[in-house]
Amino acid sequence: MVDAKEILLAEPRGFCAGVDRAIEIVERALQKFGRPIYVRHEIVHNTFVVNDLKEKGAIFIEELDDVPAGATLVFSAHGVSKAVQEEAKARGFSIFDATCPLVTKVHIEVAKLAKEGYEFLMIGHKGHPEVEGTMGQLSEGIHLVEDEDDVAKVNPKQTELLAVVTQTTLSVDDAAGIKAAIKARFPNVREPKQQDICYATQNRQDAIKVLAPQVDVVIVVGSPTSSNSNRLRELADRLGTPAYMVDNADELQPAWFDTAARVGLTAGASAPEVLVNGVIARIKALGAVSVRKMDGVEETMKFPLPKGLKMIDPATGLEIEVRKAPETGA
């Protein structure tokens, strides 16, 4: 590294309320019902988090056939299709739904408008579990558009009642471009009253827009499967700053910092702060001498847990905290 050797921390970064809630659901289920607890799909897209929960007794599965009768099952933060919900219920599992409430909001909107006769265009990435879950709320009448080219090709059965919904973890700018193309082709399309892209995705992308022009390289802490983490790296790159995504400090390459006086550091919404701290320590070992947290939006949102997992202290009548909310400060 050269000269100043400063690390700038994006704010906000790391865990969002939906991720925090999903992890806590699995941890409370383990504490209340004992191991194993079965989780359909990775609870959130982060290798460290998933491995930590595996060690505590969580078993991650993709097919319900792999869940034994009478087991406790948790749906991941990304949500599941109606078919998965109904099959799990029919099999008699004890179910806890860790779907992010902001994803559930999209599911409710789809169900409500479908009853009114609407068809849907869903902006999202094919194969992502959130997209599969949202599109799976209906048996027909919902069409995936991944980019502006797809908008020209899509053929809904009717266009009088047409609505658009969005995967919550997309690039805000990319989604806006696709929405504009949809609006140009289908002028009467109905858009959600509040945008579907979640507050945490928006805030982390806004922070990158402030951070990237001030640094020589950007490091994003996140797993390859994490949609919102990938979007952060792409955004920094698009803004003209070299950007790299790492699962942990071991993946950092010294050559990235050869000519970097200032390093920008952020983390996707499913990446815990312990990994950020590990990256800071590694960059310091490569020559960084100071860490500075940028000003940014303070996130205070917290989502309630399912009733069956709340644990009350009989002495005080207060809810028992199983885990502390992760720190987002330096």
Residues with active-site annotation? 130
Backbone angles phi, psi at 118, to 5 degrees: -75, 145
CB 245 within 8 A of CB 233: yes
Residue 227 token pair: 């949609």
